[in-house]
Amino acid sequence: MKALTQSMDAPTTATTVLVVDDTKENLAVIGQLLRPYYHVRVANSGQRALQVADSAPYPDLILLDVMMPGMDGYQVLQALRNQAHTRNIPVIFVTAMDADEDEERGLSLGAVDYVTKPIKPGLLLARVRAHLELKAARDALARQNAELDAEVHRRMAENDLIKDFSLNALATLAEKRDNETGNHLRRTQAYMEALMAHLQTHPRFALALSDPAVRERIAKAAPLHDIGKVGIPDAILLKPGRLTPQEFEVMKTHASIGAQAIGDAIRSVQQAQTPDCEHASPADAALTAQSLSFLETTRQIAGSHHEKWDGSGYPEGLAGDAIPLPARLMALADVYDALMSKRHYKAAMNLQETVDIIGRGRGTHFDPDIVDAFMALQAQFAAISGRFVDTPPSEH
């Protein structure tokens, strides 16, 4: 025993061990053995043990007798495991019961170890120390995980702020170069949000849209649908009248220009991460994955929002479900807003005319189920259009 005590560390007063036994002598012996190294609390019944475990200083480990009058050790352990604040306290049974089935029962209920009486001081101290070290390691890991989770959330929030600022700046840049946009970006984004909220439980779309984070990503990417227009010559983009067929062919390239630009951004992110991917922190990896997901969604919208359900659209002539869902949603939102808005080459259509045109495009221009969702949301679309009405130039 003397050799053992010399090998033990100095007393750790911050570490508390609760000893539970209905026999005063056992409490005295175990308490005397532990006090040079730990802060010891005692309880002489199961009910008292639960009270002590629920009060400060809270135990880091419990040595629990099994055979006690009233509430036995098994019942105490079950009660401890049923409470969130005591559930993770390691419990070592200290008992005269030494049958295999007794030990198996205690371990099955959640005890971490089983020590038989009469106790061997060296063995008990070694078991106590080992399980306290395990608990300390688990607690440290839990704290580290909590800190890491907080850091991931903090950096994601920061990344979202930067991303929102950047995409708004890019979308505004495209808007300023195109006389036709006005509040087009705000309206189309709101139309997309309304469609996704309506379709999130639809059998065809639930898998893609039931996650709020996915819907938010699509909505945030929506304002960049025409980002490719920054690559269109001013003579065509700002032409006050209708475009010639040749000019329209040039205008159509904005979809490919936008998709290519965003595709280049995706490859840049991937290449930047490749050399250090094995050493990237979980926070960095999460941010990279989030950025790539957002960029891919943006690429799909920018590149495919002029595709048509029947394959007659551009730039790739995609048809049906081959057209990415975010682009199919944007196709309807974009056309609705274009029809309802005044342009320098046309007057705004009224709601009924717009609804009729979109209805005729069901299954040809648009995904049929998205058209059905639009038909159910006509009043909401009209309200959005009114909320973000364009301001005439003379009123600026």
pTM tops 0.75: no
Both 90 and 212 in one domain: the answer is no
In CATH, what number is assigned to the domain containing residue 66? 3.40.50.2300
Predicted confidence at residue 382, as pLDDT, reads: 94
* Structural domain includes residue 357: yes
Both 208 and 335 in one domain: the answer is yes
- Reference 316, options 79, 324, 373; nearest CA is 324
Question: How many domains does one find in the chain?
Answer: 2
Q: Which of the listed residues 88, 117, 141 is the one where a domain comes to its end?
A: 141
Both 204 and 309 in one domain: the answer is yes
Residue 124's identity, in one-letter code, is: L
Burial of 372 (0-12, 13-18, 19+ CB in 10 A): middle
* Structural domain includes residue 167: no
Predicted confidence at residue 155, as pLDDT, reads: 75
Give kind and range of the element (H or E) at residue 36. Answer: none
Q: Is the dihedral of CA 40, 43, 49, 54 positive or negative?
A: negative
Q: Which of the listed residues 116, 141, 166 is the one where a domain comes to its end?
A: 141
Predicted confidence at residue 169, as pLDDT, reads: 65
* Structural domain includes residue 319: yes
Predicted confidence at residue 238, as pLDDT, reads: 82
In CATH, what number is assigned to the domain containing residue 234? 1.10.3210.10
Both 126 and 204 in one domain: the answer is no
- Reference 90, options 130, 46, 44, 42; nearest CA is 130
Domain that holds residue 44: 2-141
396 residues of the chain, pLDDT tens digit each: 434 433 444 444 579 999 999 999 999 999 999 999 999 999 999 999 999 999 989 999 999 999 899 999 999 999 999 998 898 999 999 887 766 676 678 788 888 998 888 889 999 999 999 999 998 898 888 888 888 888 877 877 776 766 666 666 666 666 666 655 558 888 999 999 999 999 999 999 999 999 999 999 999 999 889 889 888 898 888 888 888 999 999 999 999 999 998 898 888 877 776 555 555 666 666 667 777 888 899 999 999 999 999 999 999 999 999 999 999 999 999 999 999 988 777 788 999 999 999 999 999 999 999 999 999 999 999 999 999 887 655 444
Both 133 and 27 in one domain: the answer is yes
Both 43 and 108 in one domain: the answer is yes
Give kind and range of the element (H or E) at residue 64. Answer: strand 61-64
Q: Which of the listed residues 122, 141, 160 is the one where a domain comes to its end?
A: 141
Both 34 and 91 in one domain: the answer is yes
Both 189 and 114 in one domain: the answer is no
| C-alpha 157 chain-centroid distance | 11
- Reference 37, options 143, 140, 127, 138; nearest CA is 127
Q: Is the dihedral of CA 141, 143, 147, 149 positive or negative?
A: positive
Predicted confidence at residue 311, as pLDDT, reads: 97
* Structural domain includes residue 156: no
Predicted confidence at residue 3, as pLDDT, reads: 40
Q: Peptide bond preceding 118: is omega within 30 degrees of 0, i.e. cis?
A: yes
